[in-house]
Amino acid sequence: MKTRTRGDRPKTNTSGIALAGHGFVGADQPDPDILRRCIRCGLCLPTCPTYVETGKETSSPRGRIHLIAGVMDGTLSVTDATFVDQMYECLDCRACEDVCPSGVQYGQLVETARTQIERARRRGAGERALRAATLTGLFADMRRFRLASRGVRWYQRSGARQALRASGLLVRRRLGTTEAMLPEVPVEPVVPRGQVYPAQAQESRGRVALFAGCVMSTVFAETDRATIRVLSANGYEVMLPAGQGCCGALTIH
């Protein structure tokens, strides 16, 4: 693995974006002040699901912070395979932040590190097209997303799923595990159109707007409906503002 010395400056193109193989540049960099707060005490280790699963130091928050510091000081490449794998192996659940005695905002570090990786990474035409079709074409348009979720429900309830599994095609295409992860899609999604649900309790406690979400309002629509019932039962009028879309978490994650 080729590394740079601390005195080297990262090479950039005319837009200030790091060229593949070099360190952090431009906007949205990991904050060095947050990085320095980590005292490597290890209290985060038992709360980190990837560390608990693998037992590897690099799969822990402090291990990833060490990798980020390596890229920041120029001893590690932003496109180094270990660095890239660990930034994306992280679930970004931030459970480590709750137990950190130093208040390390770990989420800011890993999210900005991913931004830097995406700028430096070279993707093929096929991968770029797939990402555009899913992230931009599907998740960015709730009408398409709801249509796709209805397609998944038809697949699950029509007998097509059982037939495809029995055929062995999923196993041969190495899609068995992925297909098995599809959650059961409810009958109807929650579609925000400006609906207002009155408070059911005798004493009104206020009015709230519910953000339905993209995956929540389709795959977990019953959870959204349960949220409305709980709020209503506790004295809150609930409104579902029209025109909602994806919250943007997929872009960060």
- Distance between CA atoms of residues 69 and 100, nearest Å: 18
pLDDT, tens only, 82-109:
999 999 999 999 999 999 999 999 999 9
Q: How confident is the model at residue 13 (pLDDT cuts 50, 70, 90)?
A: very low
Cα 212 to Cα 46, 129, 150, 199, distances in angstroms:
32, 28, 17, 18
Q: Which of 243, 223, 252, 7 has the alpha carbon at shortest distance from 143?
A: 243
What mean pLDDT do residues 196-220 have? 93
The per-residue pLDDT for 22 is: 57
Which residue carries 């931030």 as its tokens? 94
Structure tokens at 44: 């985060």
| Other CB atoms within 10 Å distance of the CB of residue 126 | 8
Contact 67, 76 (CB under 8 A): yes
pLDDT, tens only, 139-184:
888 999 999 999 999 999 999 999 999 999 999 989 999 999 988 9
In one-letter notation, the amino acid at residue 231 is: L
Q: Which of 231, 68, 233, 245 has the alpha carbon at shortest distance from 146?
A: 245
| Other CB atoms within 10 Å distance of the CB of residue 93 | 14
- Distance between CA atoms of residues 53 and 21, nearest Å: 30
Share of the chain above pLDDT 70, in %: 91
Structure tokens at 241: 């503002």
pTM equals 0.67
Positive or negative, the CA dihedral 20, 23, 26, 31 is: positive
